[in-house]
Amino acid sequence: MEITYRTVVSLKQLAIRKDQKHYIVEDVINGEFYEMPEVCIVAIELLNQSKPLNDVEKELLHRYPEEDIDLSDFISQLLELNLVSKINGEEVLKSIVQKEQSGYSWIPKNLGSFFFPSFSSYLYLALLFASIGLLLYNPALFPRYSDLFVFDLMLQNIVVVLIITFVLVLLHEFGHVLAVRSEGLPAKIEVGHRLFLVVLETDMSHVWKLPAEKRNKLYLAGMYFDSVVLFIGLLGQMFTSENALLVGLLKLVVLDTFIRLVYQAAVFMKTDLYYVIENRTGCYNLMENGRNFLARWLPFLRVPQTETFAGEERFVRAYSSFYLVGVVLTIAITGYYYVPQMVFAVNHIMIPGFLEPVTSLRFWDSVVFLLQILFVSGLLIYSWSKKYRFSRKKSTSDSKAYESVQ
């Protein structure tokens, strides 16, 4: 369809909410959210009055004389985002993929409110500081990589680690789910990845329906639940020292939870803390802008260019520092915990096990260990491929339209 200054553009059903700096525009049908500045919102309001583009542009030039208005470019962006329903009364044929709105809706809102009342943040933070106090009081409680090996047989360790890790990760994600449900919104848990780590992640795209001051609790909810687990695990070791097996299991719980909490500081992987930083600053494309800032010295970090709004430069520079710290922290944790664990397991369990007869228990112990590695690698490849396929189709549900009509 040819678009001229006499063209009348009709938009889909949009919900617009004022955010910290700009506005959040929701595609009600597709459940997508976009950030737009005020001039874009005024343009949308004028388009909704069925005014031709010539009249819309004149009005925008009158209201914003210092802006470089390019309405045709803005209309092209709206078409690309699938936000246009009609042009001159003619339907715009676009695929409509309505998002599932009923994620965990069977969980009552009251249950979410029970775990996340208004004062919950103070309570969970108090438990986290109490755990730090226990570690300072008794440094022997500090987790070590050897805590992973509760039993002599790797088969037993694998089963226990898989069960405990799965339960704790699920508990972390249900922290997010319960927090989201406390606001009456849907959420769902999916398989994803952070670099080479396979993770479960909660789709919380609907939190954009909430004002900014209510989002942090939802982003931190998983860490809040982790702080409870960490405190119980540390306290339990102090009162069950006579039961070696129970202490070993508690050490494994603490190790798993401790690593998960520390990894949240690796904000370059878009962890829970990353979204808190985004939310507090009001800069919703920090990672991309931060990487492009660092790309001046580290070109391999460059990603497709995104717009930085006025006033965001200082936040981007500060985030860049956090980005580098996160990289160093991830390498340090990998080197201190994961590499020694893998080297120990391969040298002392897997290789010696494969040298045993097929009828040996230790041979099959090594087989199970190898299958575990292949299974986790398969999940990682699946997550990578899913992200690649999805990114080729369209932006993710929490992406924003950072382009304006400028």
Whether residues 231 and 148 fall in one domain: yes
The answer to whether residue 154 scores a pLDDT higher than 80 is no
Among residues 65, 91, 117, the one where a domain terminates is 91
**Alpha carbon distances (Å) from 214 to 34, 219, 220, 327, 404:** 18, 10, 11, 29, 27
Range of lowest pLDDT (51-60, 127-136, 148-157): 148-157
- Give the separation between CA 47 and CA 157, rounded to whole angstroms: 62
Give me the domain span that covers residue 199: 109-393
Dihedral, CA of residue 244, residue 249, residue 251 and residue 253, to nearest 10: -170
299 lies in some domain: yes
Whether residues 65 and 191 fall in one domain: no
Among residues 91, 121, 147, the one where a domain terminates is 91
Helical residues (DSSP H) of 48-201, grouped into ranges? 53-63, 71-80, 109-115, 120-137, 154-181
Task: Tokens for 253, please give them.
Answer: 């719980």
The answer to whether residue 190 scores a pLDDT higher than 60 is yes
Residues 236, 249, 225, 256, CA torsion sign:
positive
Whether residues 370 and 327 fall in one domain: yes
Helix, strand, coil tally for the chain in percent (to 5): 60, 10, 30
Whether residues 314 and 198 fall in one domain: yes
243 lies in some domain: yes
pLDDT band, very low/low/confident/very high, at 202 (cuts 50, 70, 90): confident
Among residues 91, 119, 149, the one where a domain terminates is 91
Residues in a beta bridge with 314: none
Whether residues 82 and 113 fall in one domain: no
| Among the listed residues 252, 275, 220, 270, the one whose alpha carbon sits nearest the alpha carbon of residue 387 | 270
Whether residues 73 and 173 fall in one domain: no
Question: What are the two backbone dihedrals, phi and then psi, of residue 301, each rounded to the nearest 5 degrees?
Answer: -85, -10
Total domains in the fold of the chain: 2
101 lies in some domain: no
Q: In which element (H, E) is residue 26 found?
A: strand 23-27
Whether residues 207 and 127 fall in one domain: yes
Whether residues 52 and 198 fall in one domain: no
Whether residues 292 and 345 fall in one domain: yes
The answer to whether residue 400 scores a pLDDT higher than 50 is no
- Give the separation between CA 217 and CA 52, rounded to whole angstroms: 44
Mean pLDDT of 69-94: 86
148 lies in some domain: yes
Mean pLDDT of 307-336: 79
Whether residues 66 and 113 fall in one domain: no
The DSSP result for 28-51, as a single string, is TTTTEEEEE-HHHHHHHHHHTTT-
Whether residues 167 and 284 fall in one domain: yes
pLDDT band, very low/low/confident/very high, at 139 (cuts 50, 70, 90): very high
Whether residues 62 and 208 fall in one domain: no
100 lies in some domain: no
Could you list the beta-strand ranges (E) of 173-279: 188-194, 197-203
Q: In which element (H, E) is residue 85 found?
A: strand 84-87
